[in-house]
Amino acid sequence: MEIGSMILLFSCVLFLLLSSCATLDTISTNQVIRDGDTIVSDDKMFELGFFSPERSKNWYVGIWYKKISTGTVVWVANRETTITDKSGMLELSRQGNQLICSGDNTVIWSSNLTVSAMNDNLVVVVQLLDTGNLVVWDRSTKNERVIWQSFDHPGNTFLPGMKIGKDLASGRERVIIPWKSADDPSPGPYLHWLDTNGYPQIFVRKGSVIRWRSGPWNGLKFQGWSIENPNPIYSIQFVMNEKEIYYKYDLKSSAVQRVLVLPDDVAVPLQWMDQIQEWVVHTIGAATDSCGGYGLCGPYASCNANRYPPCKCMAGFKPQVPDEWDRANGSSGCERKQDLDCMSGSGFKRISGIVFPDTRRSWYNHSMTLEECEMACRMKCNCTAYANSDIRNGGSGCLLWFDELMDTRENDDNQDLYIKLAASEFAGDSYARDKKDNNVQMEDLDELPSFSLNKLIKATDNFDINKKIGEGGFGPVYKCVMEDGQEVAIKRLSETSKQGLDEFKNEVICIAKLQHRNLVKLIGYCMHGNEMILIYEYMANKSLDTILFDETKSLMLDWPRRLNIIHGIARGILYLHQDSRLQIIHRDLKAGNILLDGDMNPKISDFGLARKFVGSDTAAMTRKVVGTYGYISPEYAVHGRFSVKSDVFSFGVLVLEILSVHGCIFTWLGSCNVSEVLRSIHVGLLCVQHHAHDRPTMLSVVLMLVSEGVLPQPKQPAFFTGQSDGEVQSVSSVDEDMITHLYAR
């Protein structure tokens, strides 16, 4: 073959290859996609083609992650109409409709493009975008337009950039419907949607029954979501204008993330980890609270899943059916103690720490002040409550309720709700304000059940020594079984304890208002004469120190468990410092105050020495230094100066203990992720730096533990007072050698 002919042939082949590459992410009207054919997004992240789920004989057109070996499907076209063999075809009609046909050309599925989008001059093409969105473009004019997109028809996966909500112009609602099962993409019984009646909120429905409600958007998040927004990983946006109402999230990093709604209605935020080639549950953005269903406690009552019974009437209300409430059934709800009478006047009772009641029967105005909102509620006789709609910048906007207050759930938000009550309900307020401090403190204990001493004596066989499982600074701890079969740990104040009534009250009042999976749950208390007793949930593996400092038991703590304990303690402290209703400095964090449940999940306990702080007042002085030496920070031990950074120091000591006690690190190091070990050591050293201002906040600690960014170099650790700089440097060099040694292994 002549050289010229070879060059021409090569040029033609190269042109065909380049043309093929250029259209790799598109389908035109003259193309047919069959089993084995795919199109791939430009960044090679997503792929579209035919697939069959595991243990299924049906075939579907879907989109999945191309870069991920597990073949994770994120969208399915023909969810309700299947193909039973490999003969299916996907094509694009000249009118812009996508058609899935069987082998005999029977149309199985169509994208059903609306007539308004069609015209005779359409130049259409299907493109798979880097976001995972499948788009039909009309390129007949200079300004191409989208005439159909898969993001308008979500399945069971919520992807970054996808909108969930309502297009007010077209009336189209974008909802999430989970699969029927792991092998069946057809729509299951659950539906997640943004309800735009009244002030928008997210609902979950099974059939016609509402299972869960998020609460309204408060400027940063939907109230029932336990998330941080903004955070370093993603941002959540809520948009409400005359054209559309929706929420979405966008990534701030290159992480691969999705929110998967499982067939049983569990929404799971997932992140792909290249190191282990698995999807892992993402820690930032843990989802919602739950009270076992919508409106469990009926009108004018609040629900707390961590309380028994879970229902409690709001201030100024009483049970509608007392006999049912006595049997721990609060579903009938509550009624007013005094009926509202517009002519006789009214007042408002402020409550906080709740997810607002159902807002479908509400009115809102984003420009009003709280004072204007109150006046509007006073002027409308049927208004039952009011609140700011936005918590940012001290609060703004107005929400008014015009019906029974339904589905109110207790949580850790500090947003206030003002409930309208009859004026007669406030007649005794002047007397109440004159009560002594001590009585007010005792009233705070009413949030927890009070147990009789006789009941506890019976449960413990008169505090039998054989039921004793330990002893701490407060006193002995007993394990027993209550009448309802619940296993509990009973902590009894001993006569020789240095703690007393103040510490007892402090613990009860603090922990009664705290709810977090990494804090021990206080079930109740008993005060009878000189007896002061606390009743906790029972922790099967007792305290961390009983395992960590035992050469045999410590072998139970492999690396995943140690890492889980470190992460759990960090999340618990972050909650105390930043996210709880009462922002708290623990002041006595140590291995003995970390309890472990049956699955080795950590729970922070012993709040007798804790101190509350408000707003930016995150530091204080004391003449009485409490806590455990070895764990307390140098500025606290020497000068009595404590702050949130004191807890950070104690956490750092705990981390280093968990990683190094008894030298047993070498028994699990070989099977662990060395980079995770080194990162944990690095974070621990950052936490025990000598100067408080050098230590990170617990939010930074949590983010450093779960991310892969570069960490700052730790400065001089705090060891003990009186050391010269030379002594500190010589000891520090030993730590550096140890880290180098671990890395080499």
Where in the sequence numbering do the catalytic residues fall?
Answer: 588
CA distance 723 to 493: 39
| DSSP string across 424-452 | GGGTTHHHHHTS-HHHHHHHHGGGSPBPP
* Residue of 380, 416, 424, 430 lying closest to 400 (CA atoms): 380
Q: What is the 3-state secondary structure (H, E, C) of 586-601?
A: CCCCCHHHEEECCCCC
* Residue of 598, 408, 644, 604 lying closest to 517 (CA atoms): 604
Residue environment code for 365-398, b if the CB has 16+ CB neighbours within 10 A, otherwise e = eeebebeebbebbbeeeebbbbbbbbbeeebbbb
CA distance 134 to 111: 11
Could you tell me where the beta strands, DSSP code E, fall in 448-486? Answer: 468-471, 476-481
Strand partners, 50: 61
Eight-state DSSP code of residue 65: E
* Residue of 150, 200, 207 lying closest to 174 (CA atoms): 150
* Residue of 311, 310, 334 lying closest to 321 (CA atoms): 334
Could you tell me whether strands 611-613 and 619-621 are parallel, antiparallel, or unpaired per DSSP bridges?
Answer: unpaired
Q: Which H/E stretch holds residue 136?
A: strand 134-138
Tokens 């006193």 appear where? 475
The token pair that represents 628 in the structure block: 């455990």
User: Rounded to the nearest 5°, which phi and psi values hold at 228?
Assistant: -105, 125
The token pair that represents 240 in the structure block: 């409400």
**CB under 8 Å to 336, separation ≥6 — which residues?**
300, 316, 317, 318, 421, 422
Residues 210 and 203: beta-carbon distance below 8 Å: yes
CA distance 34 to 50: 7
User: Rounded to the nearest 5°, which phi and psi values hold at 91?
Assistant: -140, 165
Number of H helices, E strands in the chain: 15, 47
CA distance 700 to 574: 9
CA distance 637 to 104: 83
Strand partners, 38: 49
Residue environment code for 673-711, b if the CB has 16+ CB neighbours within 10 A, otherwise e = eeebbebbbbbbbbbbbbebeebbebbbbbbbbbeeeee
Residues 657 and 592: beta-carbon distance below 8 Å: no
CA distance 512 to 610: 13
**CB under 8 Å to 293, separation ≥6 — which residues?**
210, 211, 212
Strand partners, 355: 409
CA distance 387 to 373: 7
Residue environment code for 123-158, b if the CB has 16+ CB neighbours within 10 A, otherwise e = ebbbbbbebbbbbbbbeeeeeeeebbbbbbbbbbbb
